[in-house]
Amino acid sequence: MIFEYDELKEAVTEDFERFYQMGFSETQIFPAVLDEYKYGEDFCQAENVCIHIFLAMNYAKNGLNFKIITEELNHFITEESEQEVRATLGNEFVKYVADLALLMKNISWEHKSSLGLMKEG
Tell me how far apart the alpha carbons of residues 87 and 34 are, in angstroms, rounded to a whole number.
22
- Of residues 21 and 80, which shows the higher confidence score? 21
Mean pLDDT of the chain, nearest integer: 86
Q: What is the mean pLDDT of residues 49-77?
A: 90
pLDDT for 108: 59
Strands (DSSP E) found in the chain = none
Q: Report the amino acid identity of residue 112.
A: K
* Rg of the chain over all Cα atoms, to the nearest angstrom: 14
Domain ranges of the chain: 5-115
pLDDT for 121: 36
* pLDDT tens figures, 82-114: 899 999 999 999 999 999 988 888 775 444 444
CA distances from residue 104 to 28, 51, 62 in whole angstroms, order as listed: 23, 15, 16
